[in-house]
Every structure is written in C-alpha cells, then in structure tokens.
Amino acid sequence: MTILKPSRYFALAGFLPVGVVFVMVLFEYTGHSAFAVAASVLAAIAVAIFSFGVRASRVVFVLIAIALVLWAALTNTGWMAATALAAERGAMVMALFAALTAIRNAAISAPAIVECGRFLARQRSGLRYTALTIGGHLFALVLLYGSISLLGILATESAAREPDPEIRRQRTRRMMIAIQRGFASTLCWSPLGFSMIISVSVVPGASWGAAALPGLVSALMMLVIGWSLDALYKPQVKSNTRPLETERWVTQLRPLLVLLGLVLVGVALLHTVTGVEVIGAVMSLIPVIAILWIAMQQPPVGLTRSVNVRQRALLFVTRELPSYRGEIVLLFMAGFIGSLGAFLLVPLVQAQGLDLTTIPPWIIVAAMVWIIPVTGQLGMNPILAVSLLVPILPSPEVMGIPPTAMVVAITAGWALSGATSPFTASVMLAASLGGVSPLRAGLGWNGVYVLAAGAALTLWALSLFYIL
C-alpha cells in the first residue's frame, strides 16, 4: 500500500471518509435509507476528489464505473436504484476501511504491541515460523494489511543480524511466508475482514454467527498445512549466530490478546444484543477502541492525554486517511463495479438461456474455492470478483446449498487469493519487504501451499454442503 503525502486539498477531503463512517453507522443501527444515501454521496465526493491524486491504474476503475452507469441508464429502467445500491456498497467498504485504519493507527504507536511483534521475530529457528504464522494471524485480526508491514519490518530487522547472505535470504523468505499465511488465514473467519463481511452480504440467508466457527476451522487448516510444508521444505542451514532465546509467551503476548479479546467480544456482544449486522458493530466499536487506546498511551513530553488524542485524531483525518487515497478509490470502486456489474450481467445471462440451477450444486461450491484465486491472478480484486460473480448465481436456497457452506467456500477462495495474487496489497507488501517481485512472493513462495490448502478447503466446504 503506497503512502503518499497529502496536500492541503486532499487533507481537507480526509473528513469525508470519517463522515461516511459516522453516517453508515447511523444507517446500520436505524435502517433509515436517508443515511445510506448521505453516506453514498459523501463517499462519491471523496472518490471524485481523491481520483485526482492517484495512479492511472486506479483512475481506470473510475472510468469503468462511469461507463457502467451509462450502460445501465441506456438499457435498464431500474438503473437509478441499482446505481444507488452500488454506491451504498462502495460506501460500506470505504467506511470499513477507514474504521480499521483508525485502530491500525493506534496500534503502531503502542510500545507493547511493537515489542510483541519483535518478540515473535526473535524466536529460535525451530520455533520462528510457528511464532510468526500464529502471530501474523493474531495481528492481522486487528491490523489487517498493517500486520504484514509491522511484523515484516521487525522480521527483516531480525534477519539483518545474520552475516551470511544466503542464510539471511532464506530466513527472510521463511519469515515473510509465515506472516503472509498467518494473515491469509484470517480471511476465512475474521468479523473485521472484508472477506467475511462482503461474503455474508452477497449470500442470502448467511450470517457471520453461523459461518464463524466453520471459517475458524478453515483458518486452522491453512495454518497447519502451512506449518507442515515449512517443516518439509525448510532448508538445512546452520546459522553463524545464536538467535535470541525468549520466554514468557503469555506475558509478551498479553497486550495483543487483551486487545483481540476486547475487539472480538465487543463486536459479538453488539451483534447479539442490538441485532445490528457485524459490519455495523465493527464500524461503531473499532473507532471508539482506537480513541481509548490512544488516550491510554503515554503522550509526548509537554502534551496532556486529551491534547494528544485531539492532535492524533486530526493527523489521522488530514494526513493518514488521505495518504491512502489510492486504496480508498480502489476499494470503493471494487464494491461499486461489482454490485452494478452484477445487476447488468444477470439479465444478459438469462437472455442467453443459461440455467445455472442445472449445474450440480457441489460443483458450484467447489468452484467458488478456486475461481477467486484464479481471477486474482488476472488482477481482479476479490471484492470485485465476489460482488460481481456471486449475485449472478441463483440463491443458495434455490440451488440447495446451505448458505454457510457457500460463505466458507467464498472466504476460502478469498484467503487463497490473498496469499498468491500479485495484485493484492498483502502479496505486494511481502514482496517489497522480502526484496522479490510480487509474482515470486505470490505463486513462487505459495504455489504448492495454495494447491494443498485449496484441496483441503474444497473438501471441507463440500463436507459442510453435505452435512448442513
């Protein structure tokens, strides 16, 4: 993810995503369509402004979205409602990204969290992969892509102490692979991840509560398969330096575990008590936790806690959010294009006389595990792929597929794409920190892994199809 220094023009526009979060939260708790419209308008204005400061590859998505709106207007009488729904989907994705960026901002300045990451990176050789893949999973539950950046920097910092260049290269590769796979596994079940939230929203009858436990099993399968392959393929090299031995795992990991418990339990309680969807619980709770977390941190010399919170909040809105304008534009457009594109494709599929209900349902479940990583190799963002392809299918009820099995298959494919697609932020970050190309960090490092994990996840999704 490219961080760009925002100008004053973009700095003021940073208030727009914050407004989208606030209004989307009101919509999630009240259900009033006026709030959804307001969020969509604010999000569209933010994208329009940020589009002037992003790479051409991002602008292409904006042009595609405009073309789809024109196509819809010329061919379908319901184009305005479809466009509004697509803008709402894009606003939801933007709001979720802004909320999660807030807690990442709070985490990177917390000494206890940084020390926790450094503790994992300092483990002895035989334990290092396990520590980093489990740590990568735990960190990613809160920090998402930021976990790869934080742990990756600490891992390369640790590997840099090795004088032998070959050992240093092998150690860096193994540590980055462990962090990558730990991150990818969270996409199977995390209530904070785009994968679960988007999947639940596009699969009728699905819910995070029903899919969380099977998704957690998927994540465990990915972690175990990754560890097994590392144990099988790890190079037999002897280090010239003695790694730093560390102990007291519970003590060192306590700050991260407490934060995870607070976030996950808080989201689950809000979801259960208020009945609000998981995304509403996430968007309302996460910014509050971020603010409280910053307030608990030791402020710089000369500042009170309240002043520090206000300054950090202002810098977050005017500097950090605008610096992610490329990602904001891409994520909004992925949700928008996927939603509106599906609206336009459904009648085309029907006009061709294609009856997807004739396809054996087990084939559809298995295919969802593989379609997403394949399209990821072609440059399609998983948000776009899922939003575009899943609505084309008949509802799970019509196909005879349990919604939970469908969600597990989709999130499994999303996770595989997150570990292999050279166009995803996770792979590009790992490639940058590992000093290799994104293609090498994706399929090169994880080709065998994705085949093994994909096969196991396909069998798991099919098992749920027959059991549920």
27, 39 contact by CB (below 8 A): yes
Indicate whether 242 belongs to any domain: no
Nearest 5°: the CA angle 95, 276, 417 is 50
328, 100 contact by CB (below 8 A): no
Indicate whether 218 belongs to any domain: yes
Q: How many CA atoms lie within 13 A of 18 on its CB side?
A: 18
Indicate whether 168 belongs to any domain: yes
What pLDDT score does 199 carry?
A: 94
How far the first Cα of the chain sits from its last, in Å, is 39
21, 99 contact by CB (below 8 A): yes
Domain assignment of residue 105, given as a range: 8-235+248-467
Nearest 5°: the CA angle 440, 446, 449 is 165
The C-alpha atoms of residue 459 and residue 369 are separated, in whole angstroms, by 10
Indicate whether 243 belongs to any domain: no
Maximum Cα–Cα distance across the chain = 71
Q: How many CA atoms lie within 13 A of 314 on its CB side?
A: 7
The C-alpha atoms of residue 198 and residue 55 are separated, in whole angstroms, by 26
Query: Is the pTM value of this prediction over 0.85?
Result: yes
Q: What is the DSSP letter of 421?
A: -
SS3 content of the chain, % helix, strand, coil (to 5): 80, 0, 20
User: What is the number of H-type helices and E-type strands within the chain?
Assistant: 23, 0
Q: Which two tokens stand for residue 282?
A: 């996430």
Indicate whether 241 belongs to any domain: no
Beta-carbon count within 10 A of 437 CB: 14
Q: How far is CA 153 from CA 5, 156, 443, 450, in A?
A: 21, 5, 22, 25
What pLDDT score does 111 carry?
A: 86
What pLDDT score does 177 carry?
A: 93
Indicate whether 226 belongs to any domain: yes
Q: How many CA atoms lie within 13 A of 115 on its CB side?
A: 11
Indicate whether 29 belongs to any domain: yes
> Would you call 267 exposed, middle or buried from its count of C-beta atoms within 10 A (0-12, 13-18, 19+)?
buried
Q: Which two tokens stand for residue 163?
A: 């004088």
Domains identified in the chain, total number: 1
- Chain centre to alpha carbon of residue 134: 17
Question: How confident is the model over 404-419, as pLDDT tens digits?
Answer: 999 999 999 999 999 9
What pLDDT score does 283 carry?
A: 93
Over the chain (468 residues), the average pLDDT of each successive run of 10 is 58 93 95 96 96 88 95 93 95 93 87 86 82 91 83 81 79 91 95 91 91 96 95 66 57 85 90 89 92 91 90 93 91 93 86 81 96 93 91 90 96 96 89 90 94 97 94
Beta carbons within 8 Å of 397's beta carbon, 6+ residues apart: 204, 205
Tokens 């259900």 correspond to 31
What pLDDT score does 3 carry?
A: 44
Question: How confident is the model over 228-261, as pLDDT tens digits?
Answer: 999 887 766 555 554 554 457 777 888 888 888 8
Indicate whether 160 belongs to any domain: yes
Range list of H helices, 144-277: 145-159, 165-186, 194-202, 208-233, 249-274
What pLDDT score does 461 carry?
A: 97
